[in-house]
Amino acid sequence: MLNFEKKIIEKHLVTGGAGFLGSHLVEKLMQSNQEVICLDNFFTGSKKNIKEWIQTPNFKLISQDVTEPITLDVDKIWHFACPGSPFHYQSNPIETAKTNFLGTLNMLKLAQRTGAKLLFASTSEIYGDPKINPQPENYFGNVNPNGIRSCYDEGKRISETLCSDFQRIYNLDIKIVRIFNTYGPRMLANDGRVISNFIIQGLQNKPLTIYGNGNQTRSFCYVDDMIDAILKIMASQVNGPINIGHSLEVSIKELAEIIKNKINPRLEFIYKPLPSDDPLKRNPDLEKVEKIINWFPNTSLEDGIAKTILWFKKNNL
């Protein structure tokens, strides 16, 4: 059972709390009457995502870069600050690498000073362009250290290393979750991620842009399922690293068909070059997460896409 289900009030720091995943997490914590501090520099996040809470006494917003040290009294640190989409993390790669290394170091030092539990939002990207499929946690990956995705992939890998060393040396309770592609309401319209791109293009009656031949695969998890797993992992005894995602692997062409059929079956596709180092396959091995927290994603891709389209329509995006 989660602590806040037992009505214990704790102080939570959510870095990147104004972003896509962070704001869903903030929402769940606020709905459970927890004390929440959201730290964000609004690079890809927005006050709109947290506007409901800004006047609430148990919510505090700190507008700051996570690379700057901070002193706070907290019980739990949810470290999500880092741009999530290739378009944004590649727009300033040096800043992305810095956010990962210095930001994670700052948060680990805060955990060390306060004794707070820390959960680090790592990524399936640490497997790079994997040579085995699906990817279990003990696979070391196939990452290009010099490519356009490296600032993010290597940034997350060094962050995992820092987490593991702080845990070993200082005996801290640190959890590493490897998040696979997640989608849903509050994705940025200009994020460049495939699901938001296809939905926006479809709603504007434009052709859907498929990069490469569209045979590359991903597995997409709906945001509510992802947040549910993240909350359960923080409440568990497990440190990880642990994969979280959906096990249904689809090609980008199949995804385009699903979205096209939900918006307008007459939509067309156009093919554009595949960006360099774009992984050809990605699918999480979920055996560990299923066993340890008895968690399975409940939302089918069809239902999740339908909900996301509805959200984009309602929000006039």
Candidate list 216, 219, 243, 283; residue touching ligand UDP; CB under 6 A: 216
Q: Does 283 bind ligand NAD (CB under 6 A)?
A: no
Q: Does 252 bind ligand UDP (CB under 6 A)?
A: yes
Contacts of 29 (CB under 8 A, 6+ apart): 4, 12, 14, 36
Distance, CA of 163 to CA of 105 (rounded, Å): 8
Instruction: Report the phi/psi class of residue 141: left, alpha or beta, with left for phi > 0 and alpha for psi in -120 to 50.
Output: left
The mark string for 81-120 relative to ligand NAD (x by CB under 6 A, - otherwise) is: xxxx---x----------x---x-----------------
Residue closer to ligand UDP, measured from CB, 105 or 274:
274
For residue 258, what are its two tokens? Answer: 């699903």
Candidate list 91, 112, 190, 209; residue touching ligand UDP; CB under 6 A: 209
Q: Does 77 bind ligand NAD (CB under 6 A)?
A: no
204-233 residues in contact with ligand NAD (CB under 6 A) are none
Q: Which of 13, 41, 103 is nearest to 67 (CA)?
A: 103
DSSP structure string for 129-154: S-SSSSBPTT---B--TTSTTHHHHH
Number of H helices, E strands in the chain: 9, 13
* Dihedral over alpha carbons 92, 120, 109, 141 (to 10 degrees): -70
Candidate list 12, 117, 175, 193; residue touching ligand UDP; CB under 6 A: 193
The CA distances from residue 292 to 30, 219, 230, 296, in Å, are 26, 21, 12, 11
Q: Does 66 bind ligand NAD (CB under 6 A)?
A: yes
Please compute, for residue 192, the number of CA atoms within 13 A of its CA located in the half-sphere on the CB side. Answer: 12
Candidate list 275, 277, 306, 307; residue touching ligand UDP; CB under 6 A: 275
Candidate list 278, 292, 307, 317; residue touching ligand UDP; CB under 6 A: 278
Candidate list 33, 42, 132, 140; residue touching ligand NAD; CB under 6 A: 42
Angle between helices 20-31 and 223-235 (to 10 degrees): 60
Q: How many C-beta atoms lie closer than 10 Å to residue 54's C-beta?
A: 11
Catalytic status, residue 152: yes
Q: Which of 89, 127, 152, 222 is catalytic?
A: 152
The interface region with ligand NAD, picked from 14-22, 142-150, 228-236, 288-296 by CB under 6 A, is 14-22
The CA distances from residue 239 to 105, 119, 148, 176, in Å, are 18, 9, 30, 6
Q: Which of 243, 227, 128 is nearest to 177 (CA)?
A: 243
* Residue 216 interacting entry, from ligand NAD, ligand UDP, none, C-beta within 5 to 8 Å by type: ligand UDP
Residue closer to ligand UDP, measured from CB, 110 or 286:
286
Q: Does 269 bind ligand UDP (CB under 6 A)?
A: no
State the nearest-atom distance from the C-beta of 237 to ligand UDP, in Å: 30
Q: Count of residues binding ligand NAD (CB under 6 A)?
A: 28
Phi and psi of 232, rounded to 5°? -70, -35
Residues that bind ligand UDP (CB under 6 A): 85-86, 181, 193-194, 197, 209-211, 216, 218, 252, 274-275, 278
Catalytic residues: 152
Residues that bind ligand NAD (CB under 6 A): 16, 18-22, 40-45, 65-67, 80-84, 88, 99, 103, 121, 123, 179, 181-182
